Amino acid sequence: MHGKKEQEYIKKGPWKAEEDEVLLNHVKKYGPRDWSSIRSKGLLQRTGKSCRLRWVNKLQPNLKNGCKFSLEEERVVIELQAEIGNKWAKIATYLPGRTDNDVKNFWSSRQKRLARILQTTATTSKSQRNKAKVRDGFTLEDPNLSSPMEGEASSIMSQQSYSSFFNQNSDLVKMVPLPDLIKPNLPSCAINHVEQEFITPFESYKSTEQIAFPQDPELNTDVTFSMGSQDLITKIDEPNFIDVFSPMDASSEYGIGLELPIGLPFFEPSSGGSRIGTRDTVENSKNCDSFFDDFPVDIFDEMEPPATQSKL
């Protein structure tokens, strides 16, 4: 490749270590800006956009690369997503070391996982709908419920039910006060987690404290997190999740482990503007059963099947 063609050539795909080095040198000299000059100077055959993306997502210091989202990070994402939608860059500002891409990827993989499990469970419940009362996507009489996988699926499905509602029926959800989903008698192991410090754009705080984010003009609301509670959806991912919330767990009302994850957002219709929070600040909560009783069971039939990748 020579002359003009060489100038026009734009390299794509994975970055090589040498390219990273060039990019880092540029940032050292000029700071994280003037991305397009990297190409115009002939330093790299990458677009300015590509250079910026590489820096932001992989090369800038203090990134938590290759590190799974902590429970608290997951909670922040879930609650903020419910509040402000898919504003990944905005949400990422609340998560030190995470980029918008990280948040986006976390969310989409979580959505896919939940959708898949929901579909599986919903299919099962549909076939048995007439046999027994459908509760939370499965039949109470279903002998399979005692199996770990069914218990897991059921728990996750509950989370998905709410997520889907937010995504697909956001207008409806805003009008309907959601029940508080938090079981008051969670096993201590689910509550006492490793204390982790976060640095928000505004302040640092301890995860076990009640966090009051300052008024955000864009959100037009106080964003309050109760970090003392736990987002159990993340527990589901843990190998010992079923052990923690086993069918024999006395705290389990239906013998399937925890019915619903906690930390899901709720909206108080009379609070003057939306506000997210947890059981800590809510009275008169409904349990998950009454919530699902409020909706036709067919609601899950409308769920889109999970995006399956067919690549062969």
Q: Give, to the nearest 10 degrees, the angle between helix 71-84 and helix 100-127.
A: 80
Q: Which two tokens stand for residue 123?
A: 């299919």
Q: Kindly state the smallest distance separating residue 299's Cβ from DNA, in Å.
A: 22
**Contact with DNA (CB under 7 A) among 2, 12, 28, 29:** 12
Binding positions for DNA, 217-236, rule CB under 7 A: none
Kindly state the smallest distance separating residue 196's Cβ from DNA, in Å: 19
Structure-block tokens of residue 261: 């994850």
Binding of DNA by 53 (CB under 7 A):
yes
From 80-88, 169-177, 252-260, 266-274, span contacting DNA (CB under 7 A): 80-88
Query: Closer CB to DNA, residue 19 or residue 180?
Result: 19
- Smallest CA-to-CA distance from 226 within 208, 213, 214 is with 208
Among 89, 172, 189, 212, binds DNA (CB under 7 A): 89
Residue 206: strand pairing partners = 197
What distance separates the 2 farthest-apart alpha carbons in the chain? 75
Residue 270 found at the interface with DNA (CB under 7 A) = no
- φ, ψ for residue 205 (rounded to 5)? -155, 160
- Residue 72 token pair: 């608290």
Using CB under 7 A, pick the residue from 22, 60, 87, 144 that binds DNA.
87
Give the rounded distance of the alpha carbon of 138 from its chain centre: 24
DSSP annotation string for 180-211 = P---TT--HHHHS----EEE-SS-EEETTSEE
Report whether 137 contacts 154 (CB < 8 A).
yes
Choose which of 57, 123, 144, 200 interacts with DNA (CB under 7 A). Answer: 57
Cβ proximity to DNA: between 76 and 134 the closer is 76
Taking CB under 7 A as the criterion, the residue among 61, 66, 184, 272 binding DNA is 66
Assigned token pair, 26:
């540029």
**Single residue of 35, 162, 198, 213 touching DNA by CB under 7 A:** 35
- Distance, in Å, from the CA atom of 101 to the CA atom of 105, rounded to the nearest integer, reads 6
Residue 36 as a binder of DNA (CB under 7 A): the answer is yes
Give, as ranges, the residues between 277 and 306 that touch DNA (CB under 7 A): 306
Q: How far is the CB of 89 from DNA (least distance, A)?
A: 3
Distance CA 193, CA 3 (A): 60
**Which range in 34-42, 129-137, 261-269, 287-295 contacts DNA by CB under 7 A?**
34-42
Sign (positive/negative) of CA torsion 292, 295, 297, 300? negative
Alpha-carbon dihedral sign for residues 167, 83, 103, 76: negative
Rounded to the nearest whole angstrom, what is the least distance from the CB of residue 309 to DNA in the complex? 4
Among 40, 192, 251, 271, binds DNA (CB under 7 A): 40
Q: Which stretch binds DNA (CB under 7 A): 6-14, 173-181, 228-236, 260-268?
A: 6-14
Closest Cα partner for 127 from 119, 154, 292?
119
Residues that bind DNA (CB under 7 A): 11-15, 33-36, 40, 46, 48-50, 52-54, 57-58, 65-66, 68, 86-90, 100-102, 104-106, 108-110, 112-113, 116, 306, 308-309, 311-312
